[in-house]
Amino acid sequence: MRALWLEDRALRLRDDVAAPEPPPGEARVRVRLAGICNTDLELVKGYYPYAGVPGHEFVGEVEAAPGAPEWVGRRVVGEINAACGACAQCRAGRRTHCERRTVLGILNRNGAFAEALLLPIANLHAVPDDVPDEIAVFTEPVAAALEIHQQVSIGASDTVVVLGDGKLGQLIAQTLAATACRLLVIGRQPARRAALAALGLRAAGEEALPTRSADVVVECTGNPEGLEMARRAVRPRGTIVLKSTYHGRASLDISSVVVDEITLIGSRCGPFAPALQALREGTVRVGHLVEGRYALAQGLLAFAQAGRPGALKVLLAP
């Protein structure tokens, strides 16, 4: 089958990747649409050593599901962490932290920039008929945005600053707006700030960054400098939620974190069912975030566009 292949920090198009055969408990999903995420761009830069097919944001149709024929033909999205179910983390209910996990397109499991992929049937979520592919393909990043709400309780009395107006920042800001908190998005791109304003959200440039006053700061700039900005904006005993993964290290004055008793929270994958629901109900709008759509054969061009500064979501259609 055709797939994008990442090896030694080089991405290439292959037509000779073996079509995967699902082991018991897993399904083969024909990919209908996939999204390029910052994590994919960072993988190419080498933030994490991975060889194989990248891609973890997708919507597809189940082609084969040994032992679970009721899934065949269903349109699905899928949680990206495949857990063993038996290790200490799994038994404690932390399946996304399974010690033996594979992660779609990120860790020991070929991903979505291919004609087909494999995932455990337990990871699949059926997509309601009234949610089109172009919207359903955002389920994974919306779930990642909603993870913040599982980790920090945010209410109407909280001042929340989102650092970053990119793909993920746009989704996070919309999920936060639903809490009625006092929300400010700090971003560099006037067009993206205008997109937020069109959704009724307050957005401004870096000059509007508050000083030591935000209850919660969500860092999703994708840049190491974002962490220092978050540190400046948060109040004593406030919380910084970290959403960016990047190649290399960020620096932070840890003593000031101690003195001001700041809580740092790493935040990754989140719940799919409420993400699908938010997309279906329009609580989170994504139509304006798509800026390109390519055939899989044009995958390298798609990556070039997705990697341009200020790029929004680029989709791949196998």
Binding site for Zn ion (CB under 5 A): 37, 39, 83-84, 87, 90, 98
Least separation in angstroms between CB 254 and Zn ion: 28
Sequence-separated (6 or more) residues with CB below 8 Å from residue 258: none
> Could you give the CA distance from residue 93 to residue 95 in angstroms, rounded to a whole number?
6
Nearer to Zn ion, 83 or 242 (CB): 83
Nearer to Zn ion, 99 or 206 (CB): 99
> Could you give the CA distance from residue 259 to residue 316 in angstroms, rounded to a whole number?
47
Least separation in angstroms between CB 80 and Zn ion: 8
Nearer to Zn ion, 90 or 284 (CB): 90
Nearer to Zn ion, 37 or 145 (CB): 37
**CA trace torsion 67, 68, 74, 80 (10° rounding):** -90
Least separation in angstroms between CB 144 and Zn ion: 7
Least separation in angstroms between CB 169 and Zn ion: 13
Query: Are the CB atoms for 124 and 62 separated by under 8 Å?
Result: yes
Nearer to Zn ion, 233 or 316 (CB): 316
Q: Which residues pair with 77 in a beta bridge?
A: 125
Least separation in angstroms between CB 168 and Zn ion: 8
**Helix (H, G, I), strand (E, B), or coil: what is residue 119?**
strand
Of 56, 62, 195, the C-alpha closest to 138 is 56
